[in-house]
Amino acid sequence: MNIILLGPPGAGKGTQARRLEERHGIVQLSTGDMLRAAVAAGTPLGLQAKAVMDRGELVPDDVMVGLIDARIVADDCRRGFILDGFPRTAAQASALDAMLERRGLGLDAVIELAVDEPALVERITGRFTCARCGTGYHDRFKRPRVDGVCDVCGNSQFVRRADDNAVTVRTRLKAYRDQTAPILPYYRERGLLHTVDGMAEMAKVGAAIDEVLSETATAATEH
């Protein structure tokens, strides 16, 4: 199954993508994670992307398309993939169609996590992750059971994303509104778009996504 998760920053795409990866054995392809890894490794791509990301703007389309084009051919994508953070512009959406077609692949569902924008700033600015295992936490909504200790691996070092600050978040939300939200009708017209309430509790959002995917799988076998 090949799925796109769409939604503004802080909508919960990463959390839900990781859950789908665990439950359905399809791989999460997060372009944000790929870029952050390149920044951490100091590669030419990382050096180019860092300033853009720090401003909350979008990295050029050709760079992003190249990254995904190279990634979806890897062995671990054979059972399917969840695109998290890609496509983010109309040009990326049409490049994705072309690369899938070239390889005889298709899209099964595009899931939009709909959220209330004012709540996003608080969601994003409070989030942090375990530096070792990547488990996500939040200052207000999900603190570790023991302060300063990861619930999952016991590590005591946490990281916050450089772009998760109130100023950059506003630019990122604007980029979503202006450049990403306009691609929703493109998928709606093709009958691929499913909207899920991203403001619900995490487990409920997961259940709603599972429901969409099982309906999609049933529809596919009936054809």
Catalytic center residues:
13, 88, 127, 161, 172
Tell me which residue has tokens 């936490």: 137
Closest distance of CB 68 from ligand AMP, Å: 8
**Closest CB 117 distance from ligand AMP, rounded Å:** 15
CB of 219 to ligand AMP, least distance (A): 28
Q: Residue numbers of the site for ligand AMP (CB under 6 A)?
A: 9, 31-32, 35, 52-53, 56-59, 64, 85-86, 88, 92, 163, 172
* 3-state SS, residue 178: helix
DSSP letter for 145, please: S
Task: Please report how close the Cβ of residue 56 comes to ligand AMP at its closest, in angstroms.
Answer: 6
Q: Of 56 and 206, which has the nearer Cβ to ligand AMP?
A: 56
Considering only CA atoms, give the Rg of the chain: 17
In the complex with ligand AMP, the residue whose CB is nearer, 86 or 128, is 86
The nearer residue to ligand AMP, 59 or 150, going by C-beta atoms, is 59
Name the residue with the smallest CB distance to ligand AMP. Answer: 32
Among the listed residues 62, 122, 119, 117, the one whose alpha carbon sits nearest the alpha carbon of residue 89 = 62
Nearest to 116 by CA among 4, 5, 6, 8: 8
- Report the C-alpha gap between 105 and 10 in whole angstroms: 29
Specify the residue, 85 or 198, whose C-beta has the smaller distance to ligand AMP: 85
Query: Cβ distance 10 to 115 under 8 Å?
Result: yes
